[in-house]
């Protein structure tokens, strides 16, 4: 995509070099032992932290099981993250057809990418860093307040190598300046922070797993799907797995299994293993281990409305600017330039309005349309740059930070290889419409400031047939609602399906069984007013201390 031939050649050469110098870490195994003290399911954002921390104890044995393998080399270049979607490192889920939203998507379905392989979703995400707001944690159960998590946040900021957008940059400058000129209460418009090292993606795979993967007491089993959690009288016994070659195995556990398979796969695995709402288990003829009504409920996500802003001045990242020799050369020699960034120039909020400034003016239509599942007409109405790689502009991703709508993850069948039914129920609660409308208006206000005016920033009004009877102006409530129900796009932040307090207790133990814990995005009780990845790293650090029964470490 971004610079086809040139980039392909460099990628090929560098990847040959990379593989030539790469020797398999000692922890990667093909044949597991019969028993381990701890088994961690899923090597994603959270699983890499847990496996690494537990194996620091040299007197315990740890097995980390991951359904995927290594991520390819593209995953290291921040700006190329979208290219991994739909490939073998993506579970490539789709939501159920939506009733209250997604009208401009094929079949009313959103694409829900999830990472598969060492690093999990953290290995294909957009790297934006945030810890949300202190108020987000107010109603979280005991032990998970903002004050409890704060020492972990400080620790994680260092370990995850949180860095600001590197260069002094036109759009960032305008964004920051808007905070001063707006002079509104509770408004924050800041440079975006992201996790990277010398221009390369930096995730828990690098920061935690790679530090641990030569330890003798840690084994890592890749390309192996955990198909069931095994119990005996509600006590954990072990796991059932399917190896790459299709054969089935069982692995025993002496202490605990920790599920880190993510918001979608963790409830799916629990349900298939007989832990969940009894009605759901009976529907699929699964024998009941424990009736736990809330498994799979409370699913939430952010919904982003892409508001395109046209620019008169040449201050954005266009496809043409990315495909130059110096741009590619600088990246591969010095780790600098646009490719070293995630393209996110600013993060803002005011009350419950969230704003993300994505500074890339244009992308190849096929790529963005395919990964989002937008219908062609929707895509073209939203992005005036669709047929013009020199077009100047940027995208404001606008969202309600604390949505109230709640959906669910349920089984399609009792076969783990069947993708579960995912229903985020976007915009089901009408308060979310009002909240998103306010967020759009907040975005418009920022444009009415000095530098944005100098750049000739002008919001683009999509011309959707379904909204033509309305006044084409985002300040008009009905028009805004019409647009958000057509074009609102997943924020890629699904959480909540095994929340603390309902499915797991305050120490993350699954209720009603023993020897089973969960630590991943599914335990997050309510939305984080920002991005979840760094919060999960901090939570996984605290979870490790809980499991090892030690205080802040
Ligand atoms: C496209 C995209 C962009 C995003 N952008 C950002 C961002 O900019 N900032 C941010 O903070 N967050 C972002 N996120 C969200 C963030 O990455 C996730 O919230 C986070 O990675 C979730 O971590 P997790 O530990 O819950 O699960 P994951 O990281 O998803 O890990 C789960 C792991 O378990 C494995 N697994 C699942 N089932 C099984 C099984 N049955 N057997 C064996 N292994 C299994 C999976 O293969 C995977 O490796 C983004 C997400 C996506 C998809
Ligand atoms: C498949 O792989 C597993 C684990 O590596 C191994 O134990 C088993 O013998 C293999 N089965 C076949 C049929 O090759
Ligand atoms: C491992 O060692 C720690 C102290 O270093 C001890 O507290 C713990 O009980 C030991 N665990 C096992 C399983 O022996
Ligand atoms: C600022 O935010 C706080 C916390 O969300 C809220 O209590 C307060 O009312 C807000 N103030 C204004 C003026 O919006
Ligand atoms: C935030 O909320 C307060 C109180 O409801 C309101 O007065 C203020 O205008 C809001 N700020 C923005 C930027 O929406
Ligand atoms: C892009 O398409 C629009 C019509 O949708 C047309 O007016 C415009 O000239 C096209 N631009 C280019 C560069 O082809």
Domain that includes residue 82, residue range: 26-307+319-352+364-392+400-428+449-460+477-547
Furthest-apart CA atoms within the chain: distance in Å = 70
Give domain status of residue 104, yes or no: yes
Residue 334: Cβ-neighbour burial (10 angstroms; 0-12, 13-18, 19+): exposed
Helix, strand, or coil (residue 164):
strand
Is there a contact between 253 and 35 (Cβ–Cβ < 8 Å)?
A: yes
Q: What is the pLDDT of residues 333-347, one digit of tens each?
A: 888 888 888 999 999
Closest atom of ligand 2 to CA, residue 246: 1
Average pLDDT, the chain: 94
Q: How far is CA 407 from CA 182, 294, 364, 427, in A?
A: 36, 12, 32, 10
Distance 351 CA to ligand 4 centre (A): 7
pLDDT in the model for residue 240 = 98
| Candidate list 129, 206, 302, 493, residue with the active-site label | 493
Distance 175 CA to ligand 4 centre (A): 22
Q: How far is CA 14 from CA 11, 294, 347, in A?
A: 5, 48, 33
Q: 268-282, 309-323, 373-387, 534-548: which has the minimum mean pLDDT?
A: 309-323
Supply φ then ψ for residue 151, to 5 degrees.
-60, -35
Choosing from 221, 222, 244, 247 the residue with most ligand 2 atoms within 8 A of its CB, the one to mutate for a pocket test is 247
Give domain status of residue 4, yes or no: no
Distance 437 CA to ligand 4 centre (A): 18
Give domain status of residue 11, yes or no: no
pLDDT interval class at 281 (50, 70, 90): very high
pLDDT interval class at 46 (50, 70, 90): very high
Residue with CA at minimum distance from ligand 5 atom 7: 185
pLDDT in the model for residue 340 = 86
Q: 168-172, 262-266, 480-484: which has the minimum mean pLDDT?
A: 168-172
pLDDT exceeds 80 at position 419: yes
Is there a contact between 327 and 337 (Cβ–Cβ < 8 Å)?
A: yes
| Average pLDDT score over residue span 123-152 | 97
pLDDT exceeds 70 at position 18: no
Is there a contact between 77 and 100 (Cβ–Cβ < 8 Å)?
A: no
- Phi-psi label, residue 232: left if phi above 0, alpha if psi -120 to 50, beta otherwise: beta
pLDDT in the model for residue 5 = 59
Ligand nearest to the CA of 550: 3
Q: 82-86, 97-101, 150-154, 285-289: which has the minimum mean pLDDT?
A: 82-86
Helix, strand, or coil (residue 511):
coil
Give domain status of residue 285, yes or no: yes
Count of CB atoms within 10 A of residue 423's CB?
18
Give domain status of residue 219, yes or no: yes
pLDDT exceeds 70 at position 284: yes
Give domain status of residue 468, yes or no: no
Ligand nearest to the CA of 179: 5
Supply φ then ψ for residue 521, to 5 degrees.
-60, -20
Q: What CATH number did the domain enclosing 533 receive?
A: 3.50.50.60
Token digits for 392? 């100047």
**Is the minimum distance from the CB of 365 to ligand 6 under 6 angstroms?**
no
Closest atom of ligand 6 to CA, residue 387: 1
> Sign (positive/negative) of CA torsion 351, 354, 359, 365?
negative
pLDDT exceeds 50 at position 6: yes
Token digits for 80? 């190329």
Q: 117-121, 389-393, 433-437: which has the minimum mean pLDDT?
A: 389-393
Residue 94: Cβ-neighbour burial (10 angstroms; 0-12, 13-18, 19+): middle
Give domain status of residue 43, yes or no: yes
493 part of the active site: yes
Binding site for FAD: what residues are annotated?
A: 45-46, 125-128, 226
pLDDT in the model for residue 1 = 47
pLDDT interval class at 27 (50, 70, 90): very high
Give domain status of residue 58, yes or no: yes
Residue with CA at minimum distance from ligand 6 atom 14: 387
Token digits for 70? 């290594």
Residue with tokens 């046209």: 310
In the chain, pLDDT over 70 holds for what percent of residues? Answer: 95
Distance 493 CA to ligand 2 centre (A): 36
Q: Report how many domains make up the chain.
A: 1
User: CA–CA separation, 306 vs 481, rounded Å?
Assistant: 13
């Amino acid at each position: 995509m971004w610079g086809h031939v040139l980039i392909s050649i460099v990628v090929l050469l560098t990847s040959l070099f990379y593989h030539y110098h790469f020797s398999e870490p000692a922890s990667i195994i093909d044949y597991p032992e019969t028993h381990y003290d701890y088994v961690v399911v899923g090597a994603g954002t959270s699983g890499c932290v847990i496996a690494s921390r537990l194996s620091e104890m040299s007197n315990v044995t740890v097995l980390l099981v991951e359904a995927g393998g290594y991520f390819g080399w593209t995953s290291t270049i921040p700006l190329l993250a979208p290219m991994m979607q739909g490939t073998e490192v993506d579970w490539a889920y789709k939501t159920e057809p939506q009733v209250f939203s997604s009208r401009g998507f094929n079949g009313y379905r959103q694409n829900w990418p999830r990472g598969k392989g060492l690093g999990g979703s953290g290995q294909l995400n957009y790297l934006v860093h945030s810890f949300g707001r202190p108020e987000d944690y107010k109603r979280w159960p005991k032990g998970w307040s903002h004050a409890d998590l704060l020492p972990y946040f400080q620790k994680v900021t260092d370990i995850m190598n949180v860095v600001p957008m590197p260069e002094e940059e036109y759009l960032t400058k305008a964004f920051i300046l808007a905070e001063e000129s707006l002079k509104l209460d509770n408004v924050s418009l800041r440079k975006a922070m992201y996790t990277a090292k010398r221009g390369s993606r930096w995730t828990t795979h690098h920061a935690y797993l790679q530090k641990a993967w030569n330890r003798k007491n840690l084994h890592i089993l890749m390309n192996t799907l955990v198909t069931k959690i095994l119990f005996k009288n509600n006590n954990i016994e072990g796991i059932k797995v399917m190896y790459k070659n299709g054969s089935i195995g069982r692995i025993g556990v002496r202490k605990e299994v920790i599920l880190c398979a993510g918001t979608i796969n963790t409830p799916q695995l629990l349900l298939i293993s007989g832990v969940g709402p009894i009605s759901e288990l009976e529907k699929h003829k699964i024998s009941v281990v424990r009736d736990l009504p809330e498994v799979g409920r409370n699913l939430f996500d952010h919904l982003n409305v892409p508001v395109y802003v046209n620019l008169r001045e040449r201050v954005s990242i266009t496809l043409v600017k990315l495909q130059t020799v110096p741009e590619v050369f600088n990246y591969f020699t010095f780790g600098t330039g646009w490719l070293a960034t995630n393209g996110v120039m600013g993060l803002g909020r005011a009350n419950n309005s969230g704003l993300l400034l994505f500074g890339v003016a244009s992308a190849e239509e096929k790529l963005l349309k395919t990964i989002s599942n937008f219908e062609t007409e929707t895509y073209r109405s939203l992005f005036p740059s669709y047929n013009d790689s020199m077009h100047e502009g940027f995208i404001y991703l606008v969202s309600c930070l604390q949505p109230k709508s709640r959906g669910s993850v349920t089984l399609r069948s009792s076969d783990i290889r069947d993708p579960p039914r995912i229903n985020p129920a976007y915009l089901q609660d009408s308060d979310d419409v009002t909240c998103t409308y306010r967020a759009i208006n907040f975005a418009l206000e920022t444009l009415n400031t000095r530098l944005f005016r100098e750049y000739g920033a002008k919001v683009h009004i999509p011309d959707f047939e379904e909204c033509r009877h309305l006044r084409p102006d985002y300040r008009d409530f009905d028009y805004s609602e019409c647009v958000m129900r057509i074009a609102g796009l997943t924020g890629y932040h699904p959480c909540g399906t095994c929340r603390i307090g309902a499915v797991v207790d305050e120490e993350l133990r699954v209720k009603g069984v023993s020897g089973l814990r969960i630590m991943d995005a599914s335990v997050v009780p309510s939305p984080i007013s920002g991005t979840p990845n760094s919060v999960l790293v901090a939570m996984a650090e605290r979870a490790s201390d809980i499991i090892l029964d030690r205080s802040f470490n």
